[in-house]
Structure 1
Amino acid sequence: MQFSSTLIQGTLVKRYKRFLADVQLPDGSIVIAHCPNTGAMTGCAEPGWKVWLSESNNPKRKLLYTWEVVLTEQQHWIGINTHRANVLVKEAILENQITELVGYENLQAEVKFGEENSRIDFLLTDPQKVDCYVEVKSVTLLDDGTGYFPDAKTLRGQKHLRELSLIASQGKRAVLFFCVQHSGIQSVQVARHIDPDYAKELKQAMLNGVQVLCYGCEISSEKIHINQSLRFFS
C-alpha cells in the first residue's frame, strides 16, 4: 500500500481522548490530528517521537490531518491507523502474497454473518473450495520482540471469535488474521494478561477449527506492505 500523497512529518506532543493527537510541525505550529486507533496504544505514542500525518483535501472534515505512522526511539516503525490493516490484507490476498489464502476466485468485504449481528472483514469464495471467512486484527503491542493482542479488553473481539467458531463448526473455513504493523515484532501471542476472557475464547475457537495467521509488514513514511509470515503462540 503506497500512501496516496506525501506524508507530513512532525513530532508527537501528546495523544488524548483516544481519537486526538497534538503534533508539532517543522515550522513550530501545532495541529490536532485524528488518531484512528481505539486501543491502548501502549508503547506507540510517546511524546517527542517522530510521526507522519496524511492530509485530507476535504474542506468539510473537522480534522484535516490523520496520524498514520510513528518511528520510536528504538527505530521501530509502527502503523498507527488500524483501518489500514484491512487494506493491507486485501492487497496481499489479491496479489497472492498470503500463501494460506491463495486460489480463491472472489473476495467480498464487510459481509453479514453469524448470530450476533456481525460483519466479516473478508469472505473468500471459489466453486472448488469451501467458503473462507477472514477476520483481521491489527497488532502493535510489543514486549521483548513479541507482539500481543489485544492491547485492551475487547468484548467486540470476543464476539468475533464466537462467530468464527460458529462458522468453523458449520464446516466452513474460519481465519483470524493478525496483521502486525510494528517492525519490532517477531512473533505474536494472545495477551491473556490483559484480557483472559479473550484468551479463553481464542483457545476454544482454535479447538473448534479456527485457523490463526500472522503476517508482518514493512513500514516507512512512503508505504506499508505485508512482507513475511510470523509465528503465533497461543
Structure 2
Amino acid sequence: MEYRQVVAGKFLRRPNRFVAFCAVEGQEVKCHVPNTGRCRELLIPGRRVYLAVSDNPNRATRYSLVAVDKEGLLVNMDSGAPNRAVEETILSLALPGMAPLAGYRREARFRQSRFDFFLWDEAGREAYLEVKGVTLFEGAAARFPDAPTERGIRHIHELMAAREEGYQAYLLFVVQARGLEYVAPNDPGGTEFGDALRLGVAHGVVPLAYDCTVAPQGMWLHEPLPVCLIERDLNLEGGCEH
C-alpha cells in the first residue's frame, strides 16, 4: 500500500479529530487527519511526521497526516491503510478453518452491519472478515482500541451471529508498525471491548493479527502476531495467555 507523494514535516497541534497543523520546510500547513482515534501517544508537538500530498483541487486540504516517528518507531496512523494493505495480499492469507482462498468481495453486508470482506475458499466455505487498525502501543503490546468503540463491539456480536449461521468469522488486527510482540485488548483503558472479544472467541470468532513494514511512503503486511486475550501481569511485557 503506497502513497503517490509524501513529504516530511513537524507536528504542531491538532485542534480537533479531523485537522492538524504541521510545519513543512518552515511553513505551517493544514492537514487532514485520517484517524479519528485519540492518538495522544503519537501526536506530540515537535515529532517528525509524514504527509501524503494530494493534487485533488476539490479537497479542503492538500495534505493528510499518515505517519509519525515515535521515538524511532515509524507508525502509520492512516485508518484506511490497514484495509488496503490486507486487500493487496488477501488471497494468500492462511485462515484457520478455510482452504486456500478463491475470491473475496469488499464491504459485505450482513444483517444491519457491513464487514470489510466476504471471502470464499476453494472448498466452497464462506467467511466474513473485519479489519481493525492498531496504533496504541505499550511496551511489547499493541492494544486495541485506543478509545471506547461501540462499533467495534457491535462488529464482534455480528461476527458471532455470522458464525451461528454457518459462516467462518475472523477479526484481523493490523498493527501499523513493526517491533511489537503481541496484540491484546486495551483492558487497562476499559474492559468492554475485551469482554466482547473474549465472548466472541468463545462462540467461534477467530482473532488474528499481523504487524506491518512501515515506510514514509507506505505500509505492507509483514508477519503474524499472537493475540493475547488475557494478560497475566499487565506490567510484565509479553506475559499473556492465549
Q: TM-score range by the shorter chain?
A: over 0.9
The residue number in structure 2 matching 1:202 is: 197
Alignment of 1:64-143 (within 5 A): 64-73=62-71, 75-94=72-91, 96=92, 98-100=93-95, 103-114=100-111, 117-126=112-121, 128-143=123-138
Q: Which amino acid in structure 2 is aligned with residue 222 of structure 1?
A: Q
1:205 partner letter? G
The CA distance in 1 between the partners of 2:178 and 2:169, in whole Å, is 27
1:55 to 39, 53, 56: 53
Residues 81-109 of structure 1, C-alpha deviation per residue, up to 9 Å, x if partnerless? 01111001111214x1x222772211100
Partner of residue 185, structure 1: 180
Q: For residue 219 of structure 1, what is the aligned residue in structure 2?
A: 214
State the one-letter code of the partner of 1:16.
Answer: P
- Partners in 2 of 1:111 and 1:195 — Cα distance? 29
CA distance in 1, matches of 2:149, 2:160: 17
Q: Percent identity?
A: 30
Q: Give the Å deviation of 1:184.
A: 3.8
CA-to-partner distance for each residue in 1:42-93, whole Å, 9 max, x for gaps? 31111111111111111111111111111112x0011110111100111121
The answer to whether structure 1 residue 39 and structure 2 residue 33 are counterparts is no
Q: 5+ unaligned residues in a row in structure 2: which ranges?
A: 230-242
CA offsets 1:134-172 (integer angstroms, 9 cap, x no match): 000000101112111011111111100100011112221
Gaps of 5+ in 1: none
Q: Which amino acid aligns with 1:136?
A: V
Contact 1:154 1:195 in 2 (8 A): no
**1:8 to 2:4 alignment:** no
User: What does residue 144 of structure 1 align with?
Assistant: 139
RMSD: 1.4
For normalisation by structure 2, the TM-score amounts to 0.90
TM-score (norm 1): 0.93
Aligned counterpart for 1:164 among listed residues 156, 159, 163: 159
Q: Match for 1:7: what amino acid? A: V
Name the CA distance, whole Å, in 2 between partners of 1:68 and 1:229. 23
The code of the aligned residue for 1:104 comes to: L
Q: 1:127 to 1:145 in 2, by over 3 A?
A: closer
State whether residues 100 and 122 of structure 2, in contact with CA within 8 Å, keep that contact through their aligned partners in structure 1.
Answer: no
- Label 1:43 to 1:184 Cα distance change in 2 as closer, same or farther (>3 A): farther
Give the direction of change, closer, same or farther, for the CA distance of 1:11–1:61 in structure 2 (3 Å limit).
same
Instruction: Give, in angstroms, the shift of residue 195 of structure 1.
Output: 3.0
Q: Distance in 1 between matches of 2:213 and 2:79?
A: 15
Count of aligned residue pairs for this structure pair: 227
Determine the C-alpha separation between the residues in 2 that align with 1:160 and 1:61. 31
